[in-house]
Structure 1
């Protein structure tokens, strides 16, 4: 797999929010909610624990990791 190029800037709250929305709509997360402090509360399952992500970069990283896992799982099943 081709490695990701380094980012030229830090992810914004808007970018993190867009990725969080995609993850929730695709049912890869149960919930992702930003807090006033810039942290994000993430829950993978409805009855699961709530994880605290420190900021937008962690949300974008979670989306990238999830996408990588999905793609690598698909290529293994072919």
Structure 2
């Protein structure tokens, strides 16, 4: 695996929103809601509890974890 360079800046709310939209559209998450406080409410499945993510970096970390999980469970990976 090729190591990725470290980010030079903090993730923005716009970047987190884009990732959240993709994850919901691809049905990898059930729902995401950005709160006025900058926090995020995230639900994996309709029957699962809602989780609170504190900042955009947490949304990107969740997206990375989901991406890693889906890639590592593909046949032939």
Question: Under TM normalisation by the shorter chain, which class is it?
Answer: over 0.9
Task: Provide TM-score, normalisation by structure 1.
Answer: 0.91
Query: What count of residue pairs does the alignment treat as equivalent?
Result: 76
Q: Which residue is 1:14 aligned to?
A: 14
Whole-angstrom CA distance in 1 between matches of 2:33 and 2:7? 24
| Larger helix proportion of the pair | 1
Whole-angstrom CA distance in 2 between matches of 1:17 and 1:2? 27
Whole-angstrom CA distance in 2 between matches of 1:57 and 1:42? 14
Q: Which residue is 2:47 aligned to?
A: 47
For structure 2, list consecutive stretches of 5 or more residues without a partner in the other structure. Answer: none
Q: Describe the SS at the equivalent of 2:73.
A: helix
Q: Which residue is 1:57 aligned to?
A: 57
Q: Which residue is 1:5 aligned to?
A: 5
Q: 1:31 aligned to 2:16? A: no
